[in-house]
Structure 1
Amino acid sequence: MSRAEPVYDARSAPRVSPLWLLGLFRSELLVTFRRWRTLALLGVLAAVPVLVGVAVKVETSDGGSIGSGGGEGPAFISQVTNNGLFLVFTSLAATLPFFLPMAVGVVAGDAVAGEAGAGTLRYLLVAPAGRTRLLLAKLTTVVAFCLAATLTVAVAALLTGALLFPTGEVTLLSGTAVSFGEGLLRAGAIAVLVAAGLLGLAALGLFVSSLTNSGIAAMATTVGLLITVQILNAIPQLDAFHPYLFPHYWLSFADLLRDPVYWDDILKNLGLQALYTAVFGSAAWAAFTSRDVTA
């Protein structure tokens, strides 16, 4: 006859201090940002604005023009030669369809599954934080990566734009001219908004990561889902479903470059990302707290 399993009593569990939890988050940050894969992803993201800026500079070196002004997505490129600050918006628009979300998908997909595949997950669970707090630390780390990746693109674009093109008074898409300082503040707000737009994908990747012990499988699945949703978002016949797909409002950040600002799509984007984060964050918690960790 087998011996009865001990009953877990929450009152006997060790208390976890806020400082210990802060240390757990700090540890997750260090582990994530010290990986060569993470540094390589950030390096690729930083290279995109440089390549775009050099390409525009070479293309317009004979006095010609590039792009066609329209104010959305790649159309920002027509404004780069007039003000280098627009290279920030152009680079964010250029990396949003694939490069930025792919990097987030890789990091989020590897968050839990990578630990399980390396055999370190069960040792992390021995610590007094517990599964919920560990998952929260990993989600917070992925969110931090979203912001770091977006800022990497923005800062690289700002430096490249300042070196290759003139800067100064910024003409918004609505035709209003603002100071370079205000334009810089809007660029910072846009970077934060773009990072927030990636939270739904981050939560989805964390959920996928909590289902498997293979980091490669989790990363591939997350990126595959990203590509699938992007394709669905581009099919006109599915127009009725587009507002419910997490990438649909990604380029709404352009509305911050209007005077007055158009808030409708921006708020829809934030609300949609909050919904995806809540749904897939809860699903990740349910899967992770109930799984049998053997690695």
Structure 2
Amino acid sequence: MSQAEAATAAVPAPVPRGPRPRTVPGVLALFRSELSITFRRLRTLALLAILAALPVLIGVVVKVETGGSGGGGGPAFIAQVTQNGLFLVFTSLAVTLPVFLPMAVGVVAGDAVAGEAASGTLRYLLVAPAGRTRLLAAKFCAALAFCAAATLTVALAALATGAALFPLGRVTLLSGESVPFGEALLRALLIAGVVALSLAGLAALGLFVSTLTGSGIAAMATTVGLVITVQILDGIPQLHAVQPWLFPHYWLSFADLLRQPMYLDDVLRNLGLQGLYTAVFGAAAWARFTARDIAA
């Protein structure tokens, strides 16, 4: 072998270049980071604290007004609270779902991208080899996690308050049948899951709004304003033709899960509508975010 050939053989073969495979641990690490950022914010903790206080307030008011008696009128949920504390879970979800839960989700989802842009950290996030698609997906998953956390906060606070203030035992459903406490507790868990999923369309809408502006306050205000506006439109009888397509229209359909047998038609319509909103506004958020010029 000549000297030139020996020198050539001593040089290692070049490593083929190309994009490194994106591993699952990297995706999970990005999601964990977004989850940590979301739940470490004082604003998020304050929202969860307010949501936890609402069932306590409702339970105390019902206890004081009824004196803990088993009778009393009022809406079906509230009338049942004095007979079984588990109904405070359903009452609290019914009270918070139209206003308080969507407003909290609107604040978190609306601030997801716009808040990063306003603070100047979004540009540095995009410098990392995460990719805009994965970053947006992580933020949406963090928003969904907040939907679940907010719903569970209301449900658990209501369950603890109901157990402390009212009797527990067999539960009389809205259709009149009586079921064991364990079965009713499983229904409560199912209802909490349906309520959390009912907020998915709003989370996607808020994320889309968040990609349109560089102001976190503007994005949060716009998302919350949209929630209020759509709720008003859903209450106008003249708009009955379009109301089934409004994302909050079937929110309270979870009451059908408190019947025997359970009625699933409106519940499935609600979940399908949320899936449609998630797909449409998720795609719109992706199209906007991937094409957006991040200057700050």
Alignment partner of 1:192: what SS? helix
Q: Which structure 2 residues correspond to residues 241-252 of structure 1 after superposition, within 5 A?
A: 241-252=242-253
Say if 2:188 is the partner of 1:187: yes
Contact 1:203-1:277 within 8 A present in 2 as well: yes
Relative distance call for 1:103 and 1:62 in structure 2 (3 A) is closer
Q: Which amino acid aligns with 2:106?
A: G
The equivalent position to 1:29 in structure 2, one of 35, 40, 56, is: 35
Q: CA deviation at 1:65?
A: 4.6
1:121-270 matches, within 5 Å, as: 121-270=122-271
Q: CA deviation at 1:12?
A: 2.9
Structure 1 residue 16: Cα displacement: 1.9
- Inter-partner Cα distance in structure 2 for 1:191 and 1:240: 29
Alpha-carbon distance between aligned partners in 2 of 1:289 and 1:101, rounded to the nearest angstrom: 27
Shift of 1:15: 2.6
Deviation, 1:175, is 1.1
1:67 & 1:277 partners in 2: Cα distance?
39
CA RMSD of aligned residues (A): 1.2
Equivalent residue letter for 2:28: L
Following the alignment from structure 1 to structure 2, what is the Cα–Cα distance between the partners of residues 59 and 68?
A: 11
Q: Tell me: CA distance 1:123–1:66, structure 2 relative to 1, closer, same or farther (3 Å).
A: farther
**Structure 2 portions without partners, runs of 5+:** 1-16
Structure-2 separation of matches of 1:66 and 1:27: 49
Name the residue aligned to 1:19: 25
**Contact 1:59/1:66, CA 8 A, preserved across alignment:** no
Partners in 2 of 1:277 and 1:292 — Cα distance?
A: 24
Partner of 2:8: none
TM-score (ref. length: structure 1): 0.93
CA 1:62–1:275: 2 relative to 1, 3 Å: closer
Secondary structure in structure 2 of the residue aligned to 1:113? helix
Match of 2:262, SS?
Answer: coil
- Secondary structure of the 1:147 match is helix
In 2, are the aligned partners of 1:85 and 1:167 still within 8 Å (CA)? yes
**Structure 1 unaligned spans of 5+:** 1-10, 70-74
Corresponding residue number in structure 2 for 1:109: 110
Q: C-alpha separation between the residues in 2 aligned to 1:163 and 1:179?
A: 19
Contact 2:72 2:79 in 1 (8 A): yes
Runs of 4+, deviation exceeding 4 Å: 62-66
Pairing 1:33-112 to 2, within 5 Å after superposition: 33-61=39-67, 63=69, 65-69=71-75, 75-112=76-113
Alpha carbons 1:16, 1:128 under 8 Å: kept:
no
Q: Is the 8 A contact 1:253 1:266 kept in 2?
A: yes
Match of residue 5 from structure 1: none
Please state how far the C-alpha of 1:118 moved relative to its aligned partner. 0.5
Q: Which amino acid in structure 2 is aligned with residue 229 of structure 1?
A: V
For the structure 1 residues 66 and 127, does the alpha-carbon distance in structure 2 shift closer, same or farther, using more than 3 Å as the test?
farther
Q: Deviations over 1:232-259 (max 9, x none)?
A: 0000111111100000000000010111
Q: C-alpha separation between the residues in 1 aligned to 2:65 and 2:200?
A: 36
* TM norm structure 2: 0.93
Deviation at 1:176, TM superposition (A): 1.2
Is the 8 Å Cα contact of residues 14 and 128 (structure 1) preserved in structure 2? no
Amino acid in the other structure paired with 2:273: L
**Within 1, Cα distance between the matches of 2:69 and 2:85?**
16
* 8 Å CA contact 1:170, 1:177 repeated in 2: yes
The one-letter code of the counterpart of 1:52 is I
Shift of 1:17: 1.3
